[in-house]
Structure 1
Amino acid sequence: MNVLIVEDEVLLAMELESEVEASGCKVGGFAADSKEAIALIQSARPDMAFVDIHLLDGPTGIDVGKRLAAEGIPYILVSGNLKRIPEDFAGTIGAIEKPYTMNGIQNALQYLKALISGVETPSAPASLRVPA
């Protein structure tokens, strides 16, 4: 599976990359702002994505998420403040709050991979806040 990481903090992006690769997926691209992210959605055609809400160009992660949802690409929002997530969750599968644990990221990845592959989906992990 090809994963897009949209994160403006380099160390967090590198941590996510490490966890994505440890789960057997490939990182298909990184973006630190919405313009880069939207360009990568078109060129890299990711299977899934992790998207921070606040990027270099402001709180534009929600816009990136809406674009992913419009393209049918499942994604997880990552934020230090989950109160910024719109009530409709902007089409996301769920959200993880920073600081997150590596176990929480791995559990969310496994959940997302199960959703994408169409196998019977387990219940959402505790680390992943899902829409009601």
Structure 2
Amino acid sequence: MNILIVEDEALLALELESELEAAGHRIVGQAMSSTEARALTDEHRPDFAFMDIHLLDGPTGIDVGRYLSAKGISYVFVTGNLKRIPADFAGAIGAIEKPYTMNGLENALSYIERFIRGERRNVIPPSLVPAPWLEQRFTGTG
């Protein structure tokens, strides 16, 4: 997958990039602000994005998430404060809570890859907090 990383903490972004590349993915860019995220999205049209909520220009990750969703690009929030995610998850598949483990990230990424390919009836790993719409539609609970 071609992946965009939107994260204002450079070390976390580099660590995530390293893990994703090791798993065989291509990173189309790293953005630290909403302006950078939108520009990279328009330029590279990623398949997927990892989105922090608080960026250099404030808590703008939710707005960028809505922008991605409007363009049909799937994403997950990666955040240390799940309570900041709106009830509708702003169109996100779900969230990965910081700090995360590499094993948890790998499990979430495996699920996300299958989701992007259209496989909708998979067990959601504990490391991925699913958006309510995802849990209801694709796990048979709703």
Q: Which residue of 2 aligns with 1:118?
A: 118
**Alignment gaps of 5+ in structure 2:** 133-142
Q: Are the counterparts in 2 of residues 114 and 121 from structure 1 also a CA contact under 8 Å?
A: no
- Runs of 4+ in structure 1 deviating by more than 6 angstroms, as ranges, are none
Paired residue type of 2:14: M
Q: Relative to 1, partners in 2 of residues 1:52 and 1:73: Cα closer, same or farther, differing over 3 Å?
A: same
Q: Matches of 1:131 and 1:3 in 2, distance apart?
A: 20
**Aligned-pair identity (%):** 63
Tell me whether 28-37 or 114-123 shows the greater mean CA deviation. Answer: 114-123
What are the superposed Cα offsets for residues 61-92 of structure 1, whole Å, 9 maximum, x if unpaired? 00010011001100010111000000001000
Equivalenced residue count is 132
Q: Which residue of 1 aligns with 2:33?
A: 33
Q: Is residue 19 of structure 1 aligned with residue 29 of structure 2?
A: no
Larger RCO of the pair (alpha carbons < 8 Å, separation 6+): 1
Q: Which residue of 2 aligns with 1:104?
A: 104
How far off its partner does 1:120 sit? 5.0
Q: Which residue of 1 aligns with 2:137?
A: none
**Alignment gaps of 5+ in structure 1:** none
- Partner-residue secondary structure (3-state), 1:96: strand
Q: Matches of 1:81 and 1:29 in 2, distance apart?
A: 24
Q: Which residue of 2 aligns with 1:67?
A: 67
Q: Rg larger in 1 or in 2?
A: 2
How far off its partner does 1:121 sit? 4.0
Q: Which residue of 2 aligns with 1:7?
A: 7
Q: Matches of 1:62 and 1:77 in 2, distance apart?
A: 9
Q: Are the counterparts in 2 of residues 17 and 27 from structure 1 also a CA contact under 8 Å?
A: yes
Q: Matches of 2:119 and 2:88 in 1, distance apart?
A: 25
Paired residue type of 1:3: I
**TM-score under structure 2 normalisation?**
0.90
Q: Matches of 2:131 and 2:48 in 1, distance apart?
A: 17
Tell me whether 105-114 or 76-85 shows the greater mean CA deviation. Answer: 105-114
Q: CA RMSD in A?
A: 0.9
**TM-score under structure 1 normalisation?**
0.96
